[in-house]
């Protein structure tokens, strides 16, 4: 039986670890999430603390190069990256080693990011079938090796990491083989989401599958990811599965304070309480302000709809709030819906 949080008396359960020269402390990472982990969201996570490394949404390397050639502005997904505090990882995706290397070099040099992460896990058709990238590459370990080698060479001394799933399908799980390729090609860490691409988000993450990979890595840390939605689950992940770090994605959208709670738990310290609903409402309005500052009122309001739904998630009245906030267009409408429908108890 794993220890409960109450039974852990001020004894750190998980040590900080290194990604190349970078100390990850606490060993809890904020996952890249397309459409969500933009500068505003990362700012909120930073304000609560507890994440040892934050990450952007995935950025398409080919698109980045194209914008460069047009002398256009860099992708929206790099909003805030240049000025933001570190550590920060930028995740890139594509299947062309040279293109990824070119963009990696720009991010490591001009943007001075802390880590360049390569996406080998995205299961979305547009990325896999149309662009032969993301999790599609799990079927092509040699290509993955080429990509990583070239990106590592282009980014040095900035560390390069890889994020994968267990395999393409349950019948073709090959994460242990892939782990050796990733390490052999010079990556500085491996993150594994414990599902296959075919699973999408169905079923539970297979943490035994993640744990199995550990003995195939000799030099680089293993970061486990999947279904961590409480401080206790983070404690369990470290205790039961021997990972060096953990990564949290979906649960942080409705609880950006979860990193701080998990960090306290692994230090054996009292867990900070969830914010009250009034505090959560203020937090959401702060998030809204950050989004509108960047995108203007109209686009900011549209973009904020999905974040607002996340904040209300799991609360009494969330469905009614979602229904109304899903249609707002102006700041007046947004504020009115928040005042009338944001859950109060
Ligand atoms: C809306 C959404 C967007 C995502 N975008 C990315 C992405 O850009 N890059 C990536 O590597 N994984 C992405 N993921 C996968 C997550 O990083 C993570 O691996 C997955 O959600 C499992 O972790 P969780 O159970 O903590 O959510 C995304 C997941 C969601 C739900």
> Helix/strand/coil (H, E, C) string of 218-266?
CCCCEEEECCCCCHHHHHHHHHHHCCCEEEECCHHHHCCCHHHHHHHHH
Per-residue pLDDT, 24: 98
Residues 6+ apart with CB under 8 A from 317: 341, 342, 343, 344
Among 28, 29, 30, 32, say which to mutate for ligand 1: greatest number of ligand atoms within 8 Å of CB: 32
Q: Which active-site residues does the annotation give?
A: 122
Say if residue 194 is in the same domain as residue 237. yes
Per-residue pLDDT, 4: 58
Say if residue 294 is in the same domain as residue 244. no
Distance of alpha carbon 27 from alpha carbon 14, whole angstroms:
7
Say if residue 29 is in the same domain as residue 159. yes
**Measured in angstroms, how far is the CA atom of residue 100 from the centroid of ligand 1?**
20
The answer to whether residue 8 scores a pLDDT higher than 60 is no
Q: Work out the number of other CB atoms within 10 angstroms of the CB of residue 333.
A: 14
Residues 6+ apart with CB under 8 A from 134: 93, 119, 120, 121, 122, 123, 124, 127, 128, 197
The CA-based diameter of the chain, rounded to the nearest angstrom, is 59
Distance of alpha carbon 89 from alpha carbon 171, whole angstroms:
32
Q: Which two tokens stand for residue 197?
A: 């691409």
Say if residue 75 is in the same domain as residue 160. yes
Cβ 183 under 6 angstroms from ligand 1? no
Per-residue pLDDT, 33: 98
In a domain, 288, yes or no: yes
The answer to whether residue 276 scores a pLDDT higher than 50 is yes
Give me the number of domains the chain comprises. Answer: 2
Cβ 250 under 6 angstroms from ligand 1? yes
pLDDT classification of 344: cutoffs 50, 70, 90 = confident
The alpha carbon of residue 160 and the mean position of all alpha carbons in its chain are separated, in whole angstroms, by 15
Say if residue 156 is in the same domain as residue 237. yes
- Please say whether the beta carbons of 155 and 105 come within 8 A: yes
- Please say whether the beta carbons of 221 and 193 come within 8 A: no
pLDDT classification of 345: cutoffs 50, 70, 90 = confident
Query: Domain with 254 in it: what CATH number?
Result: 3.20.20.70
Distance of alpha carbon 164 from alpha carbon 141, whole angstroms:
11
Per-residue pLDDT, 6: 53
Q: How far is CA 315 from CA 41, 53, 94, 339, in A?
A: 20, 29, 39, 15
Cβ 248 under 6 angstroms from ligand 1? yes
Per-residue pLDDT, 1: 47
pLDDT classification of 3: cutoffs 50, 70, 90 = low
Distance of alpha carbon 24 from alpha carbon 257, whole angstroms:
18
- CB contact burial 31-69 (16+ within 10 A = b; e otherwise): bbbbebbbbbbbbbbbebebbbbbbbbbbbbbbbbeeee
The DSSP string of 2-56 is: PPPGGG--S--SS--EEETTEEESSSEEEPP-TTT-SHHHHHHHHHH---SBEEE
In sequence order, what are the beta bridge partners of 120?
164
Q: Which two tokens stand for residue 73?
A: 């502005």
pLDDT in tens, 181-194: 999 999 999 999 99
pLDDT in tens, 135-165: 999 999 999 999 999 999 999 999 999 999 9
Cβ 223 under 6 angstroms from ligand 1? no
Cβ 36 under 6 angstroms from ligand 1? yes
pLDDT in tens, 37-95: 999 999 999 999 999 999 999 999 999 999 989 988 888 899 999 999 999 999 999 99
* Residue nearest atom 4 in ligand 1 by C-alpha distance: 33
In a domain, 271, yes or no: no
Per-residue pLDDT, 74: 87
Per-residue pLDDT, 5: 55
Scan for tokens 């293109």, then name that residue.
Answer: 99
Q: Report the binding-site residues for FMN.
A: 32-34, 91, 163, 193, 249-250
In a domain, 224, yes or no: yes
Mean pLDDT, the chain, rounded, equals 95
In a domain, 272, yes or no: no
**Measured in angstroms, how far is the CA atom of residue 32 from the centroid of ligand 1?**
6
Say if residue 154 is in the same domain as residue 124. yes
The answer to whether residue 232 scores a pLDDT higher than 50 is yes
* Residue nearest atom 7 in ligand 1 by C-alpha distance: 33
Residues 6+ apart with CB under 8 A from 208: 241
Query: Domain with 325 in it: what CATH number?
Result: 1.10.1200.80
Print the domain residue range for 243.
5-266
**Measured in angstroms, how far is the CA atom of residue 226 from the centroid of ligand 1?**
9
Kindly state the percentage of the chain with pLDDT values over 70. Answer: 97
């Amino acid at each position: 039986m794993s220890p409960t949080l109450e039974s852990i008396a001020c004894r750190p359960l998980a040590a900080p670890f290194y990604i190349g020269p970078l100390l990850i402390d606490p060993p809890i990472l904020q996952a890249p999430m397309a459409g969500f982990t933009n500068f505003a969201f990362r700012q909120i996570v930073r304000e609560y603390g507890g994440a040892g490394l934050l990450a952007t949404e995935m950025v398409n390397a080919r698109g980045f190069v194209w914008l460069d050639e047009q002398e256009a502005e860099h992708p929206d997904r790099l909003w805030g990256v240049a000025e933001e505090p570190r550590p920060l990882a930028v995740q890139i995706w594509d299947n062309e080693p040279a293109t990824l290397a070119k963009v990696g070099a720009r991010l490591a040099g001009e943007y001075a990011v802390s880590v360049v992460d390569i996406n080998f896990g995205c299961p979305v058709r547009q990325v896999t079938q149309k662009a032969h990238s993301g999790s599609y590459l799990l079927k092509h370990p040699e290509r993955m090796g080429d990509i990583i080698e070239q990106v590592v060479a282009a980014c040095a001394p900035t560390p390069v990491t890889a994020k994968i799933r267990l395999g393409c399908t349950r019948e073709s799980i090959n994460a242990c083989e892939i782990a050796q390729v990733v390490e052999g090609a010079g990556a500085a860490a491996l993150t594994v989401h414990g599902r296959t691409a075919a699973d999408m988000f169905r079923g539970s993450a297979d943490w035994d599958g993640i744990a199995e990979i550990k003995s195939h890595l000799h030099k680089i840390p293993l970061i486990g990811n999947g279904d961590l939605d409480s401080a206790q689950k983070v404690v369990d992940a470290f205790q039961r599965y021997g990972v060096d770090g953990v990564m949290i994605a979906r649960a942080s959208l409705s609880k950006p304070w979860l990193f701080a709670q998990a960090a306290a738990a692994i230090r054996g310290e009292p867990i900070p309480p969830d914010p009250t609903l009034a505090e959560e409402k203020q937090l959401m309005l702060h998030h809204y302000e950050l989004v509108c500052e960047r995108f203007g009122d109209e686009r900011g309001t549209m973009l904020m709809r999905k974040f607002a739904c996340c904040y209300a998630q799991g609360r009494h009245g969330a469905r009614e709030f979602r229904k109304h906030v899903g249609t707002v267009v102006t700041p007046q409408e947004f504020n009115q819906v928040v005042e009338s429908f944001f859950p109060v108890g």
